[in-house]
Amino acid sequence: MKKSIFLFIVLALSFQLHAQDIEYARKVLGKLTAKNFHGRGYLKKGDEKAAHYIARQFEKNNVQNLDSVYFQSYNFAINTFPGKIVVEIDDTKLNPGEDYVISCSSPTVDGTFTLAFLPDTIPTDSGFIQTINEHKNSGAFLISNYYPRKLYGKTFDGIEGIIILDKKTPGWHVSNGNKVQNTVWLKIKKTALPDDAKKISISATSLFIDEYKTQNVIGFVKGKKHPDRFIFFTAHYDHLGMMGNKTWFPGANDNGSGTAMVIDLARHFALSENQPDYSIAFVLFSGEEAGLHGSSYYANNPLFPLEQIRMLINLDMVGTGSEGITVVNGKAYQDVMNAFNKINEENNFLPEIKARGEACNSDHCPFYKKGVKSIFIYTRGKEHMEYHTIKDVDDNFPFTAYESLFGLLTKYVKEIR
Ligand SMILES: [Zn+2]
């Protein structure tokens, strides 16, 4: 009888601990996606506010810092639209973020322009270039169903503006914002632009910031056996920020989810009973969306020598998981996949762990290129599909595999020899 009560208490306690982990992660996610962080981008000090919040979490949970700061400052160039943006089609005002996005490389624009529909039959980028050039100096905004991904946001001399039609709410990207181009590019939701539309009125003022000052946030926990060798958990905490003075992108899955998990891992390993054998660094990068700036800066200016990194695990978009996880670079590290699969089978954590080859699609990349053993994990599942839109919010956020992935990672760290 006594023994079973004891067992019950132990089970209840361990359940409570787990429940607290995800509760804590949800609390962090709620903060990161709140309006006062302005989408953690380059207007209204969004990323700086998020950085201070993360540092406060580290401090509260006894995660150590280097030379009494959690920040590594650096800067990069970025084009922004700090003021009001107005887009009207035939005098009907469109909703920013919902009906349209403006390319981050667009110049200041203010005026009314005729619209010209391009033929539906453009097959390739070179066909696109040819068709566009037939409209040189027409003064019109050209509308295309064809999306020339690689040309998007570039200058076309003699072309005022180009509109790409999108079937759904268009996604915004800021990775081309390191330079202001001469052509205005917009993506507009197809249903917001009638087939017989005649004119567009547009007003947007761009502000190019040469040296936008930002910061990575770094905390660490000292290892028992190998204090001079590090496991790195990384995630980018920045998101797209604001497009104009009203529209903001909360970035719940991208990458509030990964940020919350890295902070939660830091909180876990900072408890004396969980002290790891290796030292662990928890690094939250800024500037990812603008072009992997934070991770590139760190890899070029490491605070702990790169040779001391035993392994780097990057988390970016880990809010789903009903279909399992994918490990980028998993194909390069069979030992990691074997260990993951073994832990997964023993604990029944995830439906599948897929290995992928190399891909320079998140913050592991600058480290991998310098020879650091690096993987990037994201979750898979259709329970949260919003990507780079204003709808990537934390309401009813799934976090389907949160505890499973957290369990996999903490158990894996214990097994690293
Ligand atoms: Zn992103």
Ligand 1: distance of its center to the CA of 174 in Å?
9
Residue 16: pLDDT band with limits 50, 70, 90:
very low
Ligand 1: distance of its center to the CA of 239 in Å?
6
Residue 285: pLDDT band with limits 50, 70, 90:
very high
Ligand 1: distance of its center to the CA of 388 in Å?
6
Average pLDDT, rounded, for the chain:
95
Ligand 1: distance of its center to the CA of 178 in Å?
16
Positive/negative CA dihedral, 305, 306, 309, 312: positive
Q: Do 84-204 and 26-79+210-415 fall under one CATH topology?
A: no
Q: Is 111 helix (H, G, I), strand (E, B) or coil?
A: strand
Residue type, 212: Y
- The whole-number pLDDT of residue 13 equals 47
Q: Do residues 91 and 254 make contact, with C-beta atoms less than 8 angstroms apart?
A: no
- For 286-336, the pLDDT digits (tens) are 999 999 999 999 999 999 999 999 999 999 999 999 999 999 999 999 999
Q: Do residues 105 and 185 make contact, with C-beta atoms less than 8 angstroms apart?
A: yes
Positive/negative CA dihedral, 354, 358, 364, 370: positive
Q: Which CATH architecture has domain 26-79+210-415?
A: 3-Layer(aba) Sandwich (3.40)
Q: What are phi and psi of 278, to 5 degrees?
A: -90, 155
Q: Do residues 279 and 350 make contact, with C-beta atoms less than 8 angstroms apart?
A: no
Ligand 1: distance of its center to the CA of 116 in Å?
32
pLDDT at 3 over 60: no
Residue 127: pLDDT band with limits 50, 70, 90:
very high
- The whole-number pLDDT of residue 123 equals 85
- For 341-353, the pLDDT digits (tens) are 999 999 999 999 9
Ligand 1: distance of its center to the CA of 23 in Å?
24
- For 376-398, the pLDDT digits (tens) are 999 999 999 999 999 999 999 99
Distance CA 72, CA 166 (A): 39
Domain spanning 84-204: CATH 3.50.30.30: yes
Q: Do residues 322 and 242 make contact, with C-beta atoms less than 8 angstroms apart?
A: no
Domain boundaries, the chain: 26-79+210-415, 84-204
Residue type, 178: N
Q: Specify the DSSP element, H or E, that contains 228.
A: strand 226-236
Distance CA 297, CA 316 (A): 18
- The whole-number pLDDT of residue 89 equals 98
Ligand 1: distance of its center to the CA of 254 in Å?
5
List all residues 6 or more positions away from 14 whose beta carbon is below 8 Å from its beta carbon. none
- The whole-number pLDDT of residue 122 equals 84
Ligand 1: distance of its center to the CA of 13 in Å?
37
Ligand 1: distance of its center to the CA of 241 in Å?
11
Ligand 1: distance of its center to the CA of 236 in Å?
9
pLDDT at 136 over 80: yes
Ligand 1: distance of its center to the CA of 360 in Å?
13
Secondary structure of 368-398 in the HEC alphabet? HHCCCCEEEEEEECCCCCCCCCCCCCCCCCC
State the helix-helix crossing angle for 46-60 and 2-32, rounded to 10 degrees. Answer: 160
Ligand 1: distance of its center to the CA of 173 in Å?
8
- The whole-number pLDDT of residue 1 equals 44
pLDDT at 263 over 60: yes
The encoded tokens of residue 23 equal 């509760």
pLDDT at 126 over 50: yes
Across 189-217, average pLDDT = 98
Percentage above 90 pLDDT, the chain: 94
Residue listed under structure tokens 């020899």: 417
Across 164-183, average pLDDT = 97
Residue 121: pLDDT band with limits 50, 70, 90:
confident
Distance CA 274, CA 256 (A): 25
pLDDT at 87 over 80: yes
pLDDT at 15 over 70: no
